[in-house]
Amino acid sequence: MVHISRAKVPEKVLMRVYQLFFEVFSRSRSHDSFLELLDDILTPTEKIMLAKRIGMLYLLIKEVDQSVISDILKVSTSTVSIYSVLFYKRDTKVVKIIKDMLVKEKVLDFMEDIFAGLWIQPGLKKGHYKLKWEYEQGKRERKYLR
């Protein structure tokens, strides 16, 4: 559990700190530099907590059962229920971002399926039976991982 001082920070100061926070994180140009920033600023517990929160929302949007989410992310079912009510059912900004990501995933998956159908031709080209099998395996894994 994160501990915060009971002393209230003036709103003006808090807004400036948020602006600074945004500026620091917005300068991250790559996945690796973003992870370095997280390592510099957050404790391992804080990183796990944030990742689990986003993971819960992602799985809720994908309509995974709450007990399964609880088991996968090792959180209580009540925590999943709270996040379902507080974020997912209210359609917050983070939920909209994740939904947009899922739409893009579906489009990309659709395009990949089209190109695979055009380029992988078992029976016509040598070695394409193996390519077809590998593609189908990847497609099944993609279904479960996303």
- Alpha-carbon dihedral sign for residues 93, 95, 100, 105: positive
Give 29-38 contacts, CB < 8 A, sequence gap 24+. none
Q: Are 59 and 72 in contact (CB under 8 A)?
A: yes
What is the mean predicted confidence (pLDDT) over 1-10? 77
pLDDT tens-place string over residues 37-59 = 889 989 888 888 988 888 888 88
| Residue 144 in this model has a pLDDT that exceeds 70 | no
Tokens 């590998």 sit at which residue? 134
pLDDT tens-place string over residues 75-133 = 999 999 998 888 767 778 888 888 888 777 776 666 666 666 656 666 556 666 677 77
Q: Give domain limits for the chain.
A: 1-41, 44-90, 94-146
Terminal alpha carbon distance of the chain:
29
Mean pLDDT of the chain: 80
